[in-house]
Structure 1
Amino acid sequence: MTPFLTAYLQRIGWTQTPDVSLETLRGLHLHHNGAIPFENIDVILPHEIDLSDEGIFQKLVVARRGGYCFEQNGLFERVLKEVGFTVRSLLGRVIIADPPDMPPRTHRILLIQLAGEPWIADVGFGGQSLTAPIRLQEGIEQATPHGLYRLQRNGDDWILQFRHHERWQSMYQFEMGQQYQADFVMGNFHTAHWPTSHFRHHLLMSRHLPDGVKQTLTNFHFTQWQHGQVQESQTFADVAALYEALQTRFGLGVSDARHGFSLQQLEAVMAGFAQHDEKA
């Protein structure tokens, strides 16, 4: 194995030898979800996000940080290619909040061809992220360790939905066309810099553990779920408690010379979020 792949497998705690199989794809997907948290800290600090292969590797693997879809699925695509899978990235439009107008393409997902069959993988959609690959097949319920999903068609496009409170909620709509690095750079720039981007106004984190536990964080509020039921819910009293929880609850690395951040840096950006939570 390459040094990159060896380091990645150590990062996610995968001890088996990967091969081009559905078992490996499922295992890598779930272990990635459990080890590398979804987070947008660089957006709120703010730090520019480097989407180069080396930039993503240094941040998510070496520095033990997390990231969002452009980084998470960028890393996972590289991993799958090195294992030997046939995989490429697609772009989707996030519609989970039922926007009045169709939004831009700001979500990166993966299309995998395995034994002549297409699959979708996505390790980067926050609290509702897939935790297993699903078949690119319309209208069938597909179970993952953390919930039920299905795909619907809208003309030539696909819509991913998840089962939520006894109904199906659309997450994002995507197309099958070829995408390029410039498309990811553009989508990432919009997500990180557009004034009304959700990622600019909230600290967001999530992690899905192999045993079915899901952990989410919005600003100071932490929730732990299992099988759709809330196990724990608390609001951290101050930034010091939050800073500790990022490390202990989510396993986030904060000490890297380039990709780490101090308590004081986090305090500076969380002050405004604390005021927002008090008003809410």
Structure 2
Amino acid sequence: MSPFLDAYFARIHYTSTPAVNLETLRQLHLLHNSAIPFENIDVVLPREIELSDEAIFNKLVLARRGGYCFEQNGLFERALRETGFKVRSLLGRVVLANPPQMPPRTHRLLLVELQGEQWIADVGFGGQTLTAPVRLEPHIEQSTPHGLYRLEQAGPDWVLQFRHHDRWQSMYQFEMGAQYQADFVMGNFHSAHWPQSHFRHHLLMCRHLPDGGKLTLTNYHFTHWRDGHVVQEEILPDARALYDAMQQRFGLGVDDPQYGFSVQQLERVMAGF
């Protein structure tokens, strides 16, 4: 294996021998979600988010930070490709909040071709992200460790939906055309710098757990979920408690000279939320 895969597999605690099959894809998908938290800390600090392979590897693997979709799925795409999978990135438009107009393409996801079938993989959509790949086929319920999903077609595009209580909620609409690094750079810049981007106004974190639960953080609001129900809910009292929760509950690295941050830095930025 390559030094990259050695480090990546260690980061997500993968100890099996990988093969280019659905079982390996499912294992890697869930382990990635469980080990590398979704987070937007660099946006609120603020720091520029670089999308080169080296920058993503250094931040999410070596520095043990998390990231959002452009970083998470960039890392996962590289890991799958170096393992031997045929994979490429797609771009989607987030419609979770039912926007009045079609939003720009600001979500990166993956298309995996495996044994004559196409699968959608996505480790970067926060609390509702997939924790298993779903077959690119319309109108069928597909089970993951953290809920039911389905794909619907919208003309030439596709829409990913999740089951929310007794109804289906659309997450994002995506197209199948080729995407380039410049497209990811543009979407990333919009997500991090557009004044109305929710990433600029809230600190967000999520870590999925292998037992079907998940941990979420919205500013100081910490929640432990299982099967759609709240197991534990807590308003953290201050930046120190928030800093500790990031490390202890989400496994976040904070000490790296380039990608780490101090409790004082966190306290300053959280004063605005």
Category of TM-score, reference length = shorter chain:
over 0.9
> In the TM superposition, what whole-angstrom CA distance separates every residue of 1:156-194 from its partner, at most 9, and x where no partner exists?
000000000210000000000000000000000000000
Distance 2:213 2:146 in 1: 8
> In the TM superposition, what whole-angstrom CA distance separates every residue of 1:231-274 from its partner, at most 9, and x where no partner exists?
0000000110000000000000000000000001000100111x
Give how far 1:17 is off. 1.1
Q: Which amino acid aligns with 1:106?
A: T
Distance 2:89 2:18 in 1: 21
Distance 2:241 2:83 in 1: 39
Q: Match for residue 58 of structure 1?
A: 58
Distance 1:48 1:272 in 2: 19
User: Match of 2:81, SS?
Assistant: helix
Q: Match for residue 68 of structure 1?
A: 68
Q: Match for residue 48 of structure 2?
A: 48
Q: Match for residue 184 of structure 1?
A: 184
Q: Match for residue 132 of structure 1?
A: 132
How high is the sequence identity, in percent, across the aligned residues?
A: 74
> What does 1:74-85 correspond to in 2, within 5 Å?
74-85=74-85
Q: Which amino acid aligns with 2:220?
A: F
Q: Which amino acid aligns with 1:55?
A: A
Q: Match for residue 9 of structure 2?
A: 9
Q: Which amino acid aligns with 1:257?
A: P
Distance 1:235 1:119 in 2: 38
User: Match of 1:32, SS?
Assistant: helix
Distance 1:18 1:59 in 2: 24
Q: Which amino acid aligns with 1:128?
A: Q
| More divergent stretch after superposition (102-111 vs 220-229) | 220-229
Give how far 1:227 is off. 1.1
Distance 2:28 2:235 in 1: 32
Q: Match for residue 90 of structure 2?
A: 90
Give how far 1:57 is off. 0.0
Distance 2:214 2:255 in 1: 25
Q: Match for residue 247 of structure 2?
A: 247
CA RMSD of aligned residues (A): 0.4
Q: Which amino acid aligns with 1:268?
A: R
Give how far 1:19 is off. 1.1
| More divergent stretch after superposition (206-215 vs 103-112) | 206-215
> In the TM superposition, what whole-angstrom CA distance separates every residue of 1:123-179 from its partner, at most 9, and x where no partner exists?
000000000000000000000000000000100000000000210000000000000
> In the TM superposition, what whole-angstrom CA distance separates every residue of 1:38-65 from its partner, at most 9, and x where no partner exists?
0000000001001000000000000000
Q: Match for residue 271 of structure 2?
A: 271
After TM superposition, which residue ranges in structure 1, 4 or more long, deviate above 6 angstroms?
none
User: Match of 2:33, SS?
Assistant: helix
Q: Match for residue 30 of structure 1?
A: 30
Give how far 1:18 is off. 0.8
Q: Which amino acid aligns with 2:7?
A: A
Specify every segment of 5 or more residues in structure 2 that has no aligned partner in the other structure, as ranges: none
Distance 2:237 2:46 in 1: 23
Are residues 1:100 and 2:100 paired? yes
Distance 2:222 2:196 in 1: 24
Give how far 1:228 is off. 1.2
Distance 1:33 1:242 in 2: 21
TM-score (norm 2): 1.00
Specify every segment of 5 or more residues in structure 1 that has no aligned partner in the other structure, as ranges: 274-280
Distance 2:64 2:104 in 1: 30
Q: Which amino acid aligns with 2:18?
A: P
Distance 2:271 2:17 in 1: 46
TM-score (norm 1): 0.97
User: Match of 1:182, SS?
Assistant: helix
Distance 1:84 1:51 in 2: 22
> What does 1:138-153 correspond to in 2, within 5 Å?
138-153=138-153
Distance 1:254 1:59 in 2: 11
> In the TM superposition, what whole-angstrom CA distance separates every residue of 1:193-239 from its partner, at most 9, and x where no partner exists?
00000000000000101111111100000000111111000000011
Q: Match for residue 205 of structure 1?
A: 205
Q: Match for residue 195 of structure 2?
A: 195
Distance 1:39 1:241 in 2: 17
> In the TM superposition, what whole-angstrom CA distance separates every residue of 1:98-135 from its partner, at most 9, and x where no partner exists?
00000000000000000010000000000000000000
Q: Which amino acid aligns with 1:262?
A: S
Distance 2:56 2:99 in 1: 30
